Amino acid sequence: MSSVKLIAIQMISSPVIEDNLAAIECQLMSIRKLHPQDEILVVLPECCLMFATKDHEVRDYSEQPNQGPMQDALAQLSIMFNVYMVAGTIAIKADDGRHFAASILFNPQGEQLGQYNKIHLFDVDVNDGVGSYRESDNTHPGQHVSVIKTPIGNIGMAVCYDLRFPALFQTMREQGADIFVLPSAFTYVTGQAHWELLTRARAIENQCYMVASNQGGEHKNGRVTWGQSMVIDPWGNIETQIQYGEGFASATFDREKLQAMRSKMPMASQQRFHSQLKK
């Protein structure tokens, strides 16, 4: 009998799209050998296909919604390995000349089931080798929460810096999310301080599985990312993780455990606050 596997892929993506696609294909081959009969939800990290030196280089390769060579290649990988795949993130053109940091969910037939545009943009100063990040210079903030209903569960989509804003995850839970997916590229400094704490907290607060896929290593542009890609259960337990370097973390989605936990501690019905996205 097949089960549903939740898999966080960890990468050290480069600026070269073709090299990153080859790396993803290699990992998917290993995943399918390990789980030949199971239904699979694979989550790729943020900037999976292009970890560029400059943000404007990403914008130069941006695509129109539902069309373009990056989207086509990812769709083909979903078909080839018969997986649901969250491709986080690729650049999709915005009307103001910037792009959206778009996370796209593909089904095993290569169809796009939905797109989430990163809402919270990383405009911060960090004590690392880069120092200052201004994502909004080239990236347009998203305006919509995305919870996508699929045969394997309701998937709530977030990206990286979104993790620090619990209202987003509460809203996704209110909209029926069972599984949170979090493509990320946490810096080493911020990841060391907060990555595990925040991913586990978001799972616990909302009684959802969390599939947190991070970049994890030293990149060709000089940036260093934290890694520690994980699958976390609704009680906050780390079911599986990979600390550093390329690889993947795999765990089983246990719907009965999820429902039992929510029944015994009915936090959703006891919630007395409501959040709303600012426009």
C-alpha dist (Å) from residue 180 to 78, 201, 229: 19, 12, 13
Per the listing, tokens 């083909």 go with 76
> Is 160 in the active site?
yes
Q: Is the Cβ–Cβ distance between 217 and 232 less than 8 Å?
A: no
46 as an active site residue: the answer is yes
Name residues whose C-beta falls within 8 Å of residue 58's C-beta, 6 or more positions apart in sequence: 47, 50, 52, 91, 99, 138
Strand order in the sheet with 84-93: 112-117, 99-106, 84-93, 39-43, 4-10, 247-252
Instruction: Write down the H helix ranges in 207-266.
Output: 255-264
Q: Is 118 a catalytic residue?
A: yes
Query: What SS3 state is found at 202?
Result: helix
Q: Name the one residue in this structure whose structure tokens are 């209110």.
A: 174
Selecting among 5, 46, 135, 208, the annotated active-site residue is 46
The H or E element spanning position 18 is helix 17-34
Tokens 């053109």 belong to residue = 93
* Beta-sheet strands, E only, within 32-111: 39-43, 84-93, 99-106
- Give me the catalytic one of 5, 47, 118, 135: 118
Q: Which of 47, 160, 208, 239 is catalytic?
A: 160
Greatest CA separation found in the chain? 50
Annotated catalytic sites, by residue? 46, 118, 160
